[in-house]
Amino acid sequence: MNLDWFDRVSSELQNHLESICENYDEVGQMSIERAAKHPRMEFYVELDDEEREYFYTLFYDPYNEEFYFESFDFNLEQTTRAILGDIEDIIDAVHESFHHYMNADEEFEEDSDLFEQIDVEWETPEVTAFIHEDEVEVTYQFGIVEETGDGVLRRINRIKTNNGDMLKDETNFIFSKEEASTMIAMIASHMDSLSDFEF
């Protein structure tokens, strides 16, 4: 097992990222887990309550001496790996993920601020629509906007990564009574065309 390449990259990576990105220099952090079977570098932003929000994990295969990252491919219904050949590829991948996280975080905060101003009476608890072992779970919750009487459908995706982190993605969809009846009719008339989501 050879960790020379891992050690060289981990010792240089933080400085490279800080030098090319002012925003990363201000808030981006990196932790190193060298003792794992596949050592990894985890990149995160520290929140006000001293908790960490991770935006990228870079793994190292010490037997093949390769860096890679993992993602879940819903079309293939499995976790896939993408190999990063050199330090420039690694820098680009982490840098891109950082900006994607920051932009998504800003959009989420704006949406959350807007949604928090709306009073919703939740009519149901979270109802599980789909679950696969403890790796993937999709739930729905239905509510009513108190001021307008419109419906709210909350969809929450939870995906467990290979390193044990639970990723959560929440979407809220507001609709009127007329829209609801149209959606129900459209879905009901096309149910037979839908495929089961199988692993």
pLDDT for residue 99: 84
The CATH number of the domain covering residues in 118-191: 3.10.450.700
In whole angstroms, what is the distance from residue 104 CA to residue 77 CA? 24
pLDDT for residue 89: 92
In whole angstroms, what is the distance from residue 80 CA to residue 48 CA? 33
**Phi then psi dihedrals of residue 38, to 5 deg:** -115, 100
pLDDT for residue 106: 58
> What is the biggest distance separating any 2 CA atoms in the chain, rounded to whole angstroms?
63
pLDDT for residue 74: 62
β-pairing, 136-145 vs 40-46, is unpaired
Instruction: Report CA-CA distances (Å) from 142 to 10, 124, 133, 136.
Output: 46, 6, 24, 21
In whole angstroms, what is the distance from residue 93 CA to residue 97 CA? 6
Ranges of H-type helices in the chain: 4-20, 22-27, 87-116, 177-189
pLDDT for residue 46: 86
In whole angstroms, what is the distance from residue 147 CA to residue 144 CA? 9
Q: Is the pTM of this model over 0.75?
A: no
pLDDT for residue 42: 92
pLDDT for residue 3: 85
Q: What is the pLDDT of residues 141-194, one digit of tens each?
A: 999 998 889 999 989 888 887 767 778 888 888 899 888 888 888 888 888 888
pLDDT for residue 70: 84
Residues 177 and 151 sit within 8 Å (Cβ to Cβ): yes
pLDDT for residue 124: 93
3-class DSSP state of 5: helix
pLDDT for residue 21: 84
Domain definitions of the chain by residue range:
4-114, 118-191
Residue given tokens 């030098």 in the structure block: 19
- Listed as ranges, residues in the chain with pLDDT below 70 are 1, 73-77, 104-117, 163, 197-199
